[in-house]
Amino acid sequence: MASLAEIRAKLKSQEVNRSTSNTGGDNAIYPHWNISEGSEAVVRFLPDKDTNNTFFWTERNMIKLPFAGIKGQTDSRPVQVQVPCMEMYGKTCPVLTEVRPWFKDKSMEDMGRKYWKKKSYIFQGFVTTNPLAEDTTPENPIRRFIIGPQIFNIIRSALMDPEMEEMPTDYVKGVDFRINKTTKGGYADYSTSKWSRRERALDEAERAAIETHGLHNLGDFRPKEPTEAEVKIIAELFAKSVEGEAYDLEQYGQYFRPAGVAYQGKPQVAVPTASAPAATPVTEAAPTAAPVTATAPAPQPEAAPATAAPAGDSAKRAEDILKLIRSRQAK
């Protein structure tokens, strides 16, 4: 496990890079977004099983593709399909390649943000104080946490504080984390969440759970890296989403589909199940109360508009973008 100094060094390195460069539906995931306003959930984060991971979390980047509905279903409501952003694997993302230039046109910024990657962070640990009345809890008390940028920034900032002398995941000298939920502007707000001030050693039951069940390799809960064929499917889905088409379950159901939508058809191309993930399960996409700005950050400064086009050109710009996407796909 990395030391606190190593974590700080890597976080600083990532910050420099930013400034100079422009999981399953089981109840192992703790739905902290469901706690009521004014309540507090206390959790204890644990290290990643993967000793090559400097941090005790792993980052996940997803892109939401909105569709008008599902093709062939007359009463279908608008749906969203989540696909992995290829930049999560150090590869070129076909969606962001198209979207980045949109931020040079002020009239396209809102559309660009809609298709920009959404970051979340996967942690694991214990729920030591649970304000939720869960119907069932997993046999393994080591839960997973899907943390959004607002809470993550609080976690990260404290790690950079020199007054934090011990690794918060240490079994003996670690500290718990308090997730506090309020509302601000009609949205869920977690800005008062914080690390506990007192150290707390893991109790016998917690240590026994680690001994019995073991720690998770957090990387296992990121989506499998799409194959070359699936990357092309992502590009196709993106183009159809931009065009305002309905989602075609028959054509794309074996690859990516809306949460909660079953696919019964026969695969047109043999694709291993593990590498053809459906859209993010409902439990992971649940924190709908989070503000858009918290989950859909605009691109880094280099993508900011240089010379904004007149707002009246928005429709024409969208049409031009579609033509460009189609021409690239044709090649």
pTM over 0.75: no
Give the pLDDT score at 24: 39
To 10 degrees, what angle do helices 228-242 and 314-330 make?
A: 150
Compute the CA torsion angle 145, 146, 148, 149 (nearest 10 deg): 80
Q: How far is CA 299 from CA 14, 99, 102, 149, 158, in A?
A: 16, 10, 10, 15, 25
CA 153 to chain CA centroid, nearest Å: 14
Check if the beta carbon of residue 237 is closer than 8 Å to that of residue 83: yes
Beta partners for residue 62, in sequence order: 84, 118
Give the pLDDT score at 156: 93
Compute the CA torsion angle 136, 33, 114, 86 (nearest 10 deg): -60
DSSP string, 82-140: EEE-GGGGTS--HHHHHHGGGGGSGGGHHHHHHHS-EEEEEEEEEEEE--S--S---SS
Give the pLDDT score at 316: 54
> How many domains does the chain divide into?
1
**pLDDT tens figures, 118-161:** 999 999 999 999 999 988 889 999 999 999 999 999 999 999 98
Low-confidence ranges of the chain (pLDDT < 70): 1, 8, 12-26, 266-331
Give the pLDDT score at 322: 58
Distance CA 24, CA 295 (A): 20
**pLDDT tens figures, 57-93:** 999 999 999 999 999 998 889 999 999 999 999 999 9
Q: How far apart are the first and last CA of the chain?
A: 47
Beta partners for residue 63, in sequence order: 83
CATH of the domain at 95: 3.90.198.10
**Domain containing residue 257:** 4-330
